[in-house]
Amino acid sequence: MRSGVQRIEVCGVVVDVATDHPPFARYLEDHFPHLQNAGATEDDPDISVRVRWTEGPRIVARPETVFPDWEVDKMIDRYVHAGPNRVMWLRVDDAASVALASEHGGRARRFELLFHFTLGSKGWREWLKRTIYRRNVSALRRSRLSTLTYYAVYYPAWWQLESRGAGHPLHAAGVAIDGRALVIAGLSGAGKSTLATSMLAVPGAELLADNIVLHDGRQVSGCFEPLLLDEQARAGLGHRSPLRALGRRHVFARDAYHAPHRTGGLPLAAFVLLIRGRETRLRSVDSETCTRTVLAINEVAKEVRRYHVLSAILGMVEPDAQAQAHQRAARLERLLAGVPCYVLQVREGAPSEAVAVLRDIMAPARQVAT
C-alpha cells in the first residue's frame, strides 16, 4: 500500500494522496481503515494531492523555491501568489510549516503540499537544537502528521463539497438514532465525544462523527475520523461497539480508536449546544441564537477556523465556489429552522445525567420512526 498512491474516500469525495514521506503514508494507512491503492482502479479521483516533506533550517518562502513546477504571474501578498486557475500559499495561516498550491479545472482538483519540519532556527542553530533535543525530534515529527492530514485530505475534500454547495463543516459530534440525526456542538473539551459515544447505548444508535459533521442545509452527515476517547468515555462505551486502538494519544488525554461510523445524509432531529456547569440542566434556545453560536464555535475551533482561512484563499481564483462558501450561515439557518434547539449544561463527571436528557430529547424522533 505505502509504495503507491493511496486512495481515500471522505464524505463521498475520492482523494488520491502521493507522498515521499513514509511515516505520513503509514499514518494515513492507520488513520483511514479502508484505504485502496489508486493503481488498482482506472477511475479518476475527485482530488489529487502530492505531499512533500523536507527538513532543516528555516527556508526562504519564494514560489520558485517552494513550488518550482507551478507557474504563477500575480502576487496577491507576500505569501499568496496566483496564476490561471491556480493559487499558491507559501506560509499557511498559523501552520507556518505548511505551504500549499492548488489548481482546479478538468476532472480532478490538484493540490501540492510542502511540509518543512524545522525547530525554528537558522543555519547551525537548527542543527544544535536537534542535537540538544534529539530524543524529542521523532515525537515532534509525529505530532505534525495530524495537521498534515487535515491539509492533505480533509480540507481539500471539504472544499470540493463546499464548492458545489454539497456540504459545510461544523465542529460538532453527531449520532444517528432510527434514521435521524442528533448533533452536539461545543468547544474543544466540552465533552462532545463522551456524550456521542455514550449515546451509542441507545438501541438503534449509530455514530456519525465525534468531531466534524457536514450539512447542506437539509441533511447532516458525518466526516470520518478515528474516535478520540478518554478513560471515562471508554468505560462508558464498554463492549457495545468494537474498538481498535491506533496507539496514539491526542489532547485532553484521549486515545485514538477505529469504530463503526454511519455514512450518508440524514434529516436533523435536534441540535444541542454543550457547555459545562455546576449542575446538569437543559433549556430551549431559538434557532437564530443557535445558528450564531454554532458559527462562533466554528471560528474558535482550530480545525474549522484553519479551513475557513484556506477556503478564502482558494476562493480568490474560484469566485463561483466562494459564492457557495458564503452560503454557510444561510444554509445553517435553514437546517435549524423548525428543529428543536437546546443548550445543555453538564455537571462535571456526570455524563450519565446528560445522556438521560439526550434520550428524552430524541424520544419524539423515535416515536416518529416507529
Return the ∠ at Cα 173 (arms to 168 and 178), rounded to 5°: 100
Which percentage of the chain shows pLDDT scores above 90?
A: 62
Q: Which residues contact 164 (CB under 8 A, 6 or more apart)?
A: 324
- Are 16 and 45 contacting, i.e. CB atoms less than 8 angstroms apart? yes
Q: Distance from first CA to last CA of the chain, Å, rounded?
A: 45
CA–CA gap between residue 110 and residue 10 (Å, rounded)? 16
**The C-alpha cell that represents 265 in the structure block:** 445524509
Task: Report the distance separating Cα 116 and Cα 114, nearest Å.
Answer: 6
Q: Count H helices and E strands in the chain, helices first.
A: 13, 20
Q: Domain residue spans in the chain?
A: 6-163, 168-369
Tell me how far apart the alpha carbons of residues 109 and 102 are, in angstroms, rounded to a whole number: 7
**Alpha-carbon span 222 to 183, nearest angstrom:** 10
Q: What is the mean pLDDT of the chain?
A: 88
SS3 17: strand
Per-residue pLDDT of the chain (370 residues; tens, 9 = 90+): 445 799 999 999 999 999 999 999 999 999 998 888 776 677 899 999 999 999 887 778 899 999 999 999 999 999 999 999 999 999 998 888 999 999 998 778 999 999 998 766 566 566 666 666 666 778 788 888 999 999 999 999 999 999 999 999 999 999 999 899 999 999 988 888 888 888 888 888 899 999 999 999 999 999 999 988 877 777 766 656 678 888 888 877 788 888 888 888 999 999 999 999 999 999 999 999 999 999 999 999 999 999 999 999 999 999 999 999 999 999 999 999 999 999 999 998 788 899 899 989 988 655 444 4
**What's the pLDDT tens digit per position in 8-28?**
999 999 999 999 999 999 999
Q: How many Cβ atoms from other residues are within 10 Å of residue 45's Cβ? A: 21
Say if CB 17 and CB 6 are below 8 A apart: yes
Q: How far apart are CA 209 and CA 192, in angstroms?
A: 10
